[in-house]
Amino acid sequence: MATSEPPTSAEAFDASKMSKAPSKFLRNAPQDTPAVRVGFVNAAVGYGLFAARDLRKDEFIFHEAPLLTALFNEKFSSDKNLVQSQHAAYRNALVDGNRDVVTLAFPRLAARNGFAPLPFDDAHTVLETALGKNLVHGQFGGSTVTREQYEAYTSKLDATAAPSEDDCRRACLDFFKHYAFEVNKGPTAAAAVLPITAAAAAAVVPATRDACIYLLGSLINHCCTPPSHGFAFGRGGEMGPNCEWRIGPSGLAQFIRPKHICVQAKRDIKKGEQLTWDYGKRFKGFVCECSTCRDSFMGYYCGVL
Ligand SMILES: C[S@@+](CC[C@H](N)C(=O)[O-])C[C@H]1O[C@@H](n2cnc3c(N)ncnc32)[C@H](O)[C@@H]1O
């Protein structure tokens, strides 16, 4: 199996599993009301996650199991085993009634794999309910994507007719490059990572890292961090990314399961505001449309222009 086992039901947050030491990260239980919704940014950026209510600084927003796990592509190479593992992880995720949710969460990848977008009425039901299915803590508030937005977006995503295996693999490679998180291999990783064939298994160089994709976590868009010298002036309000994340258990938050992602508010976030984080210095491969770039001269700095 390429996917980690998704949670069967949301768990109560057990504060006793937290270290007694004060932690800035994940100190509080997530609230009982929905915290995030999926929404549409524009046709270039695609979907994003938005606050479903006001979120407080340091609020623990959600804890989510990975949807796909494959080998991590350190150098973005097209090494055969990496490509095979990422492609197989995607194909495996399409089984067991998962196909609609995976196709809808990542419609660009689906189109390159030959899957036509669902009609809006079906899509809406899935977007409303299923995108939160891997949450362990925190609540998903559904979708704000309108029929017009969905149809305008998907009409531009021509599903490739009968793509070759090679096209599908390349699409997965591009997808992992832009959507995957680099994750420490957990103790059970050997079962989660593919080899698809015995020959491929023998050839796999033991990697120390996995690449994980999340249904919600991988929909959070990038925002540049303004430089500390204050050169970037906003239109009022705070600038820069408003969330941070951790993957897997760490000293102060042992309850996080291996490869699971936890997201926390870096500052107060208003209802309706988009959740963002800084993707860091790695290759981004898109023209940045974040608010820091829009409201300041940061486009000059962010290195993606
Ligand atoms: C991890 S995904 C985020 C979800 C994505 N918006 C979607 O609908 O699938 C990363 C991709 O989102 C888009 N994206 C994220 N942040 C962006 C930004 N600041 N400006 C423009 N595009 C962005 C880029 O296409 C990028 O490759």
- Supply the ipTM of this predicted assembly: 0.99
- Reported as a single tens digit per residue, the pLDDT across 165-174 is 999 999 999 9
C-alpha–C-alpha distance, residues 232 and 300, integer Å: 11
Pocket test for ligand 1, best of 221, 282, 283 (most atoms within 8 A of CB): 221
| Exposure of 304 in the CB half-sphere (CA atoms within 13 A) | 20
Atom of ligand 1 nearest to the CA of 224: 19
What pLDDT sits at residue 251?
Answer: 74
Residues of the chain under the 70 pLDDT cut: 1-28, 75-76, 186-207, 228-238, 282-283, 296-305
Query: Measured between alpha carbons, how far is residue 3 from residues 7, 94, 128, 290 in Å?
Result: 12, 10, 22, 31
Say what the alpha-carbon torsion angle 48, 54, 59, 65 is, to the nearest 10 degrees: -30
**Could you tell me the two tokens for 61?**
């927003």
Written as one string, the DSSP assignment of the chain is: --SPPPPSSPPPP-GGGB-SS--SSS-SPPPSS--EEEEEEETTTEEEEEESS-B-TT-EEEEE--SEEEE--TT----HHHHHHHHHHHHHHTTTTTHHHHHHHSHHHHHHTTPPPPPHHHHHHHHHHGGGTTEEES-EEEE---HHHHHHHHHTSPPPSS--HHHHHHHHHHHHHHHPEEEE--TTHHHHSPP-SHHHHHHPPPPSEEEEE-TTGGGPEE-PPPPTTS----SSS--S--EEEEES-BTTBTTSPTT-EEEEESS-B-TTPBPEE--TTS---S----HHHHHSSGGGTSS--
**Residue 221 CA, ligand 1 centroid: distance in Å:** 5
What pLDDT sits at residue 68?
Answer: 94
Atom of ligand 1 nearest to the CA of 290: 19
**Residue 176 CA, ligand 1 centroid: distance in Å:** 12
**Residue 203 CA, ligand 1 centroid: distance in Å:** 33
Strand order in the sheet with 68-71: 68-71, 209-213, 181-184
Residues having CB closer than 6 A to ligand 1 are 45-48, 178-179, 218-219, 221-222, 286, 288-290
Q: Label residue 114 left, alpha or beta by phi (over 0 means left) and psi (-120 to 50 means alpha).
A: left
**Residue 191 CA, ligand 1 centroid: distance in Å:** 30
**Residue 198 CA, ligand 1 centroid: distance in Å:** 36
What pLDDT sits at residue 190?
Answer: 37
**Could you tell me the two tokens for 13?**
């947050």
What pLDDT sits at residue 27?
Answer: 64
What pLDDT sits at residue 197?
Answer: 44
C-alpha–C-alpha distance, residues 2 and 18, integer Å: 30
What pLDDT sits at residue 2?
Answer: 47
What pLDDT sits at residue 249?
Answer: 86
- Reported as a single tens digit per residue, the pLDDT across 41-60 is 999 999 999 999 999 998 98
What pLDDT sits at residue 195?
Answer: 35
Pocket test for ligand 1, best of 37, 42, 45 (most atoms within 8 A of CB): 45
What pLDDT sits at residue 178?
Answer: 93
User: Whose CA is closest to atom 13 on ligand 1?
Assistant: 45
The reply to whether CATH 2.170.270.10 applies to domain 15-300 is yes
- Its pTM stands at 0.85
| Amino acid (one-letter) located at 16 | S
Decide: 130 and 87 in contact? Cβ < 8 Å: no
C-alpha–C-alpha distance, residues 121 and 33, integer Å: 26
Atom of ligand 1 nearest to the CA of 47: 8
**Residue 67 CA, ligand 1 centroid: distance in Å:** 18
User: Whose CA is closest to atom 11 on ligand 1?
Assistant: 178
Domain boundaries of the chain, sorted by first residue: 15-300
Atom of ligand 1 nearest to the CA of 178: 27
What pLDDT sits at residue 152?
Answer: 94
